[in-house]
Amino acid sequence: MRFLRHSLTGLFLASLTVALLIWAASLVKGAVDARLARDPGTPPARERIFAVPVQLAKAETLTPVLSAYGQVQARRSLEIRAAAAGQVIELAPEFVEGGDVREGQILLRIDPANAQDALTRAQADLADAEAEVRDADRALTLAKADQAAAEEQAALRDRAAKRQKDLAQRGVGTEAALETAELAASSARQAALSRAQSVAQAEARVDQAATRLSRMKIALSEAERRLADTTVTAPFSGTLSGVSLVEGRLVTQNERLAALVDGTQLEAAVRLSTAQFARLLDSEGKLSERPAQITLDLWGTSIGTTGALTRSSAETGDGQTGRLVFARIDAARGLKPGDFVTFSVDEPPLERVVRLPSGALDSAGTVLALAADDRLEALPVRLERRQGDDVLVRAPGLDGREIVTQRSPLLGAGVKVRPLRGEGAAAPEAPAMVELTEERRAKLVAFIEGNKMLPADVKDRILTQLQNPQVPAQMVERIEARMGG
């Protein structure tokens, strides 16, 4: 009985435990179902606000600056060529690459022996021609005197024949005497005609002698010119380039020896687009002479000078577009033909335009303006000019509005922003600076000091910058690019 009682008690406790576990599981399942079925209640959404730099748009009259790239060229240059063939017997010390010569200076001499001999022969031939002229003049004078005597004798014979005819008519003279007198008169006239022919021949001889004298004078002038061609002089002051000649060398006629460039008269040839060229025309459609600025960018520094637009090319050119204009360079110090320079000229002023950073304008031609409650509004504008990192735009209602200066893909019409004005706006980025090691600094200084192309003031300015603890990175990169390192 005890065993049976203990067994029933154990079975009861086991059944109670299982029932409690099932009940607990049902409670947990009911709680989970209730939790999942209940609405969690999401928190209220908050609008995102962006901080943007803004600028007050102010309409004003601005003068755009047209910038383009061009190449310096000489307004006056000349190829030095040999006008005569022969051996070079003398060269000027300045006849070298980069030599400066002055106007009228003798650059070289070619052996003048052959030209001198030709001149001597021409002088002798001229003397013969002059003697022939004198001899022909004397012969003409004698022929005319002989003709006058013959004509006088013919007149006497005619009078004698008339007298014999009168005597024969009165019966005093004879027919034989009359015939003799007439025959004598005829012979005298024949002699006078022969003398006239001699005079004509003498006159022809005079003309031939004069013609020969003219030819001899021309030959003498040509011989003198050929002798002068053996000496080459500088037609104007300038600098020699492309020199390919040494003393003693044989040169041929018309051989190119060097080029003479006038470094004081330079100009910049600049190719503009047709639209840019049209903005520089006056009311009559002609290119107006405007002051210009020419700048040569050189190793982080620059050489600037002034100039003026002078003319434009007559044609576009094969395979070219736009228009080619030329600007006179006033002070060519430091500039050489072939330099690539930046050309800047003021355009006609634009009225009621607003200058904004280029980042404020999108590709659709709109800007973002600050509206009520600091929300953005898209305003369409018309782009007038691009000026470096700025743009000149015009639109009705733009004056006095605050414009976002830096666009981003997150900004658009209706977006709420926090405007950054004044010092809160983005400041211009300072140029990058680098610190140089002593070895690197020494290499750069040695290269600049050994460069003979740099003007003295530019060289001093670069060397001064290289002595600073920090040097502009752009200048260092350009110098090392020229060094090949």
pLDDT in tens, 427-481: 445 557 778 888 888 888 888 888 777 777 778 778 888 888 888 887 888 787 7
Percentage of the chain exceeding pLDDT 70 = 94
Beta bridge partners, 321, equal none
236 vs 154, more confident? 236
Compute the average pLDDT of residues 388-405. 90
456 vs 250, more confident? 250
List the end-to-end C-alpha distance of the chain, in Å, as a whole number: 111
Compute the average pLDDT of residues 154-163. 75
pTM summary value:
0.61
pLDDT of residue 393 exceeding 90, the answer is yes
Compute the average pLDDT of residues 298-326. 84
The model's confidence at residue 203, banded by pLDDT at 50, 70 and 90, is confident
Beta bridge partners, 90, equal 109
Among 23-27, 40-44, 66-70, 281-285, which stretch is predicted with the lowest mean pLDDT? 40-44
Which segments of 229-301 does DSSP mark as H helices, in order? 274-279
| Structure confidence at residue 426 (pLDDT) | 47
Percentage of the chain exceeding pLDDT 90 = 25
The model's confidence at residue 156, banded by pLDDT at 50, 70 and 90, is confident
pLDDT of residue 424 exceeding 50, the answer is no
How far apart are the C-alpha atoms of 94 and 167, rounded to whole Å? Answer: 100
Q: Which domains does the chain have, with CATH numbers?
A: 78-111+236-247+256-260 (no CATH), 114-228 (1.10.287.620), 262-346 (no CATH), 350-424 (2.40.420), 433-483 (no CATH)
Output b/e per residue, 176-198; b: 16+ Cβ within 10 A.
ebbeebbebbeebbebbeebbeb
Contact 216, 129 (CB under 8 A): yes
pLDDT in tens, 38-64: 655 555 556 788 889 999 999 999 999
| Structure confidence at residue 62 (pLDDT) | 92
The model's confidence at residue 139, banded by pLDDT at 50, 70 and 90, is confident
| Structure confidence at residue 415 (pLDDT) | 87
pLDDT in tens, 171-200: 666 677 767 777 777 777 787 787 788 888
Q: DSSP labels for 58-111? A: --EEE--EEEEEEEEEESSEEEEE-SS-EEEEEE-TT-STT-EE-TT-EEEEE-
pLDDT in tens, 209-230: 889 899 999 999 999 999 999 9
Amino acid at 369: A
Beta bridge partners, 301, equal 298
Q: How many CB atoms lie within 10 A of CB 175?
A: 9
pLDDT in tens, 117-128: 999 999 999 999
pLDDT of residue 151 exceeding 90, the answer is no
pLDDT of residue 10 exceeding 80, the answer is no
Q: Are strands 50-56 and 417-420 parallel, antiparallel or unpaired?
A: parallel
pLDDT in tens, 315-337: 887 888 889 999 999 887 778 88
| Structure confidence at residue 37 (pLDDT) | 72
Q: Are strands 470-472 and 86-91 parallel, antiparallel or unpaired?
A: unpaired
pLDDT in tens, 72-119: 998 888 999 998 899 999 999 999 988 999 999 999 999 998 889 999
How far apart are the C-alpha atoms of 268 and 328, rounded to whole Å? Answer: 7
